[in-house]
């Protein structure tokens, strides 16, 4: 039992290290198998990131108001993750401007930010800030925790149902997909998050938020999978960003 718990803690630590800039003393726990299993905890790490962002909002909102507080929340989120997912979103949209699959993969690997990427990133960040600022302050904390968690689950579902199209890159540890046990753990976390948001804002509001998230997931996949025949690490970041935004918009639409 202790060995199993220790193994799961090691996998969780690797998931935190993979998705964030939070210093995690993983020591010698790394193995390829553990890193491949790390996506099972991506939604849980997302909830942790969202919780830290929610704490910032709850502390700042009474003093600074919702607009400034939501901008601070976005900044904190990017500091915690090193803008990992935002970089993937920008690279994906730069790649979508390419004329062929091969050129798209080359453009996405270029570290320079292009016009399409800058425009997409700016628009998504602005929409997230505006949407959160329009939500009732009491709802924002829940939206942040659940949005960060379920949007990471959205990326895990891409891993489970698509194929990695590069020989190397940030998505390489997931190239063999995700095993059924890991997928169940990730889905269970998602179910808990959905139950929490339903209990907090109501069942109908939760359905609206879920519909928005699914729209962001499907819409982003429709843009890149037809072109690439699969996914890359960058497109996982893009799916996370559009899914998170979609959930916030869905929640606002009904509220």
**pLDDT tens-digit readout, 150-204:** 999 999 999 999 999 987 766 566 667 799 999 999 999 999 999 999 999 999 9
The whole-angstrom separation of Cα 225 and Cα 92 is 11
The proportion of the chain whose per-residue pLDDT surpasses 90, expressed as a percent, equals: 85
Q: How much is the pTM?
A: 0.94
Q: Note the pLDDT of residue 170.
A: 64
Q: Note the pLDDT of residue 1.
A: 59
Residue 112 contacts by C-beta under 8 Å, 6 or more apart in sequence? none
Q: Is residue 58 predicted with pLDDT exceeding 90?
A: yes
**pLDDT tens-digit readout, 17-31:** 999 999 887 777 888
The whole-angstrom separation of Cα 105 and Cα 219 is 20
Mean pLDDT on 99-119: 93
Report how many helices (DSSP H) and strands (DSSP E) the chain contains, helices first.
10, 0
Tokens (6 digits) for 15: 């998931």
């Amino acid at each position: 039992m202790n060995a199993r718990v220790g193994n799961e803690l090691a996998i969780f630590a690797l998931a935190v290290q993979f998705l964030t800039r939070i210093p995690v003393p993983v020591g010698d726990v790394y193995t390829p198998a553990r890193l491949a299993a790390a996506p099972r905890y991506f939604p849980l790490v997302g909830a942790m990131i969202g919780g830290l962002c929610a704490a910032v909002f709850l502390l700042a909102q009474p003093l600074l108001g919702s607009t400034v507080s939501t901008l601070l929340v976005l900044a904190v989120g990017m500091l915690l993750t090193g803008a990992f997912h935002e970089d993937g979103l920008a690279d994906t949209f730069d790649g979508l401007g390419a004329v062929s699959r091969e050129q798209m993969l080359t453009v996405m690997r270029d570290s320079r930010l292009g016009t399409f990427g800058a425009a997409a990133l700016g628009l998504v960040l602005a929409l997230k800030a505006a949407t959160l600022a329009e939500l009732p302050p009491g709802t924002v904390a829940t939206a942040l925790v659940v949005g960060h968690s379920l949007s990471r689950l959205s990326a895990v579902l891409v891993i489970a149902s698509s194929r990695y199209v590069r020989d190397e890159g940030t998505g390489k540890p997931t190239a063999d997909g995700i095993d059924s046990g890991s997928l169940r753990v990730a889905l269970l976390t998602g179910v808990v998050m959905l139950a929490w948001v339903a209990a907090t804002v109501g069942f109908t509001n939760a359905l609206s938020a879920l519909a928005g998230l699914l729209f962001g997931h499907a819409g982003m996949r429709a843009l890149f999978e037809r072109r690439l025949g699969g996914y890359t690490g960058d497109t996982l970041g893009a799916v996370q960003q559009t899914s998170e935004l979609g959930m916030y918009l869905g929640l606002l639409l009904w509220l």
